[in-house]
């Protein structure tokens, strides 16, 4: 949702600002808290303000854009440095040299990246040939649960994987049982069950060679894949 608040000089400016925002974000996603009158705006202020409401602005999330007189203050997250420069360049072009721009734009880190960094190079360990978590496996999941909570419980697919030793179908069943055990443990740590789905890939998605013990150990793993926020 986008909330627009403050005071504009006249009804025409209010209507134009709202029309541009509704076109950009969708009418159902714009909350109108604008009031009219009681302010004197700089020359061409209304034209500048409505002109800046375009696709570049939509690339900023979790922030705000404040315009007070001839000062523009923008804050929020952008996906990368190129977009940050693009947004600032567009703002500079939308206003003349009498306007100043203060920016607090930060590069966002994806939730998937945060999950991956938490898991790092560790694996969720189980007792050999079973879906029983080891103490080390539970310790890793404690860290994952804490991170998932900080991310406000996104929808996550818990994926079990095995090496290619033994019967493929048995490995698929074992990988699914292990994914289910991980889900149950995370639910026990306060993660909503409805936010977790499970899959068992067995040996079909290796990340290392199964020709070595080290490679097989890497392939016996649990993946955490964010489906949506």
Greater model confidence, 30 or 42: 30
pLDDT of residue 201: 95
What does the pLDDT look like over 182-192, one tens digit per residue? 999 999 999 99
Instruction: Answer yes or no: is pLDDT of 165 > 90.
Output: yes
Instruction: Answer yes or no: is pLDDT of 210 > 90.
Output: yes
Instruction: Answer yes or no: is pLDDT of 229 > 70.
Output: no
Instruction: Answer yes or no: is pLDDT of 4 > 90.
Output: yes
Q: Does domain 111-228 have CATH number 3.30.1330.60?
A: yes
What does the pLDDT look like over 173-182, one tens digit per residue? 999 999 999 9
- With helix as H, strand as E and coil as C, how does the chain read? CEEEEEEECCHHHHHHHHHHHHHHHCHHHEEEEEEECCCCCCCCHHHHHHHCCCCCHHHCEEEEEEEECCEEEEEEEECCHHHHHHHHHHHHHHCCCCCEEEEEEEECCCHHHHHHHHHCCCCCCECCCCCCECHHHHHHHHHHHHHHHHCCCCEEEEEEECCCCCCHHHHHHHHHHHHHHHHHHHHHCCCCHHHEEEEEEECCCCCCCCCCHHHHHHHCEEEEEEEEC
pLDDT of residue 19: 96
Domain(s) labelled CATH 3.30.1330.60 in the chain stretch across: 111-228
Confidence of residue 212 (pLDDT cuts 50, 70, 90): very high
CATH topology of domain 2-107: hypothetical protein tt1634 (3.40.1520)
pLDDT of residue 87: 93
Instruction: Answer yes or no: is pLDDT of 211 > 70.
Output: yes
Candidates 220, 178, 218; CA nearest to 198 is 178
Mean pLDDT computed over every residue of the chain:
93
> Is residue 173 within 8 Å of 200, Cβ to Cβ?
yes
What does the pLDDT look like over 34-90, one tens digit per residue? 999 888 888 889 999 999 999 999 999 989 999 988 899 999 998 888 899 999 999
Candidates 196, 195, 155, 158; CA nearest to 176 is 158
Domain(s) labelled CATH 3.40.1520.20 in the chain stretch across: 2-107
Candidates 229, 226, 228, 227; CA nearest to 112 is 226
What does the pLDDT look like over 95-130, one tens digit per residue? 988 899 999 999 888 889 999 999 998 999 999 899
Q: For the residues 193-215, what does the mean pLDDT come to?
A: 95
Question: Which residues 6+ apart lie within 8 Å of 125 measured at CB?
Answer: 133, 134, 136, 137, 140
Instruction: Answer yes or no: is pLDDT of 28 > 80.
Output: yes
CA distance linking residue 164 with residue 175, whole number of Å: 12
């Amino acid at each position: 949702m986008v909330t627009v608040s403050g005071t504009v000089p006249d009804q025409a400016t209010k209507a134009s600002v709202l029309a541009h925002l509704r076109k950009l974000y969708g009418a159902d996603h714009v909350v109108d808290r604008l009031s009219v009158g009681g302010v004197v705006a700089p020359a061409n202020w209304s034209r500048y303000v409505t002109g800046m409401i375009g696709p570049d602005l939509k690339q900023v999330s979790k922030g705000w854009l404040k315009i007070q007189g001839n000062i523009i203050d923008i804050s929020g997250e952008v996906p990368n440095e190129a977009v940050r420069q693009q947004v600032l360049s567009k703002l500079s072009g939308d206003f003349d040299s009498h306007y100043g721009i203060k920016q607090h734009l930060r590069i966002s880190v994806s939730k998937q990246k945060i999950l991956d960094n938490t898991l790092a190079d560790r694996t969720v360990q189980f007792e050999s040939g079973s879906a029983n978590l080891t103490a080390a496996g539970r310790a890793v999941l404690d860290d994952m649960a804490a991170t998932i909570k900080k991310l406000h419980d996104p929808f996550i697919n818990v994926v079990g994987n095995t090496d290619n030793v033994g019967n493929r179908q048995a490995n698929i069943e074992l990988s699914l049982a292990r994914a289910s055990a991980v889900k149950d443990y995370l639910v026990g740590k306060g993660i909503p069950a409805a936010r977790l789905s499970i899959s068992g890939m067995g040996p079909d998605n290796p990340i290392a060679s199964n020709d070595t013990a080290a490679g097989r150990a890497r392939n016996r793993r649990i993946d955490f894949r964010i489906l949506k926020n």
